């Protein structure tokens, strides 16, 4: 079984041609206590981001009475909800802004070698998507779930230049000169 907490460790059970290699990152684990006659009963919820590091990323939320079960459920949910993201040369094609609830995220492309200038849930989503150079700012709410969802909203808005030209029925400037 793969170590869920360390996304940099390779999957030992997978063969090289076994399909896409996913990286899973636990963003947040919440402990909830229910007071009963004999004391407290704890349950856990986990927020996990999963991606193939080449443009597909998703998040999942799982609840269980044990931490490991909650992480397992969240990971399975994340892999079912993958979304494709437009990436250009290890960065994003243009500046974008995403909102979800009170969470607001601003993403800007960065030059090669800059790295991921982001924290928490934003960093986890960008790493799982395969973005290597980006500047990010989380505005508004610090709720982990809303920040992750806002980051995904911002990434889904991204489009490559050629797809925008194609949608408008125009040719790229390089193709017009020929």
Q: Would you tell me how many other CB atoms lie within 10 Å of the CB of residue 68?
A: 13
Architecture, CATH, for domain 23-83: 2-Layer Sandwich (3.30)
Q: How far apart are CA 98 and CA 156, in angstroms?
A: 9
The angle formed by the CA atoms of residues 141, 82 and 123, to the nearest 5 degrees, is 40
* Residue 32 pLDDT: 93
| pLDDT for the residue 73 | 95
Model pLDDT, residue 175: 58
- Domain range summary for the chain, segments of one domain joined by +: 23-83, 87-164
In whole angstroms, what separates CA 25 from the centre of its chain? Answer: 9
Percent over 70 (pLDDT), the chain: 87
For 3, 18, 124, the CA distances from 8, given in Å and listed in that order, are 9, 18, 12
- Point out which residues pair with 136 in neighbouring strands: 107
Taking only the tens place, the pLDDT of each residue in 114-148 is 999 998 899 999 999 999 999 999 999 999 999 99
| 8 A C-beta contact, residue 173 and residue 162 | no
In this structure, whether the domain defined by 87-164 belongs to CATH 3.40.1190.20 is answered with no
Residue ranges in the chain whose pLDDT is less than 70: 1-20, 175-178
Count the residues in the chain: 178
């Amino acid at each position: 079984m793969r170590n869920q907490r360390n996304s940099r460790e390779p999957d030992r059970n997978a063969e090289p041609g076994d399909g896409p290699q996913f990286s899973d990152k636990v963003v947040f684990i919440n402990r909830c206590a229910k007071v009963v006659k004999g004391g407290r009963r704890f349950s856990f919820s986990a927020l996990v981001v999963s991606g193939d590091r080449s443009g597909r990323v998703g998040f999942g939320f799982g609840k269980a009475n044990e931490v490991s079960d909650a992480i397992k459920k969240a990971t399975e949910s994340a892999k079912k909800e993958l979304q494709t993201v437009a990436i250009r040369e290890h960065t994003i094609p243009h500046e974008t802004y995403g909102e979800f609830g009170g969470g607001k995220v601003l993403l800007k492309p960065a030059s090669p070698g800059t790295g991921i200038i982001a924290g928490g849930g934003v960093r986890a989503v960008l790493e799982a998507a395969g973005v290597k150079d980006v500047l990010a700012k989380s505005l508004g709410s610090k709720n982990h779930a809303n920040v992750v969802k806002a980051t995904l909203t911002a990434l889904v808005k991204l489009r490559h230049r050629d797809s925008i030209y194609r949608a408008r029925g125009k040719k790229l400037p390089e193709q017009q000169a020929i």
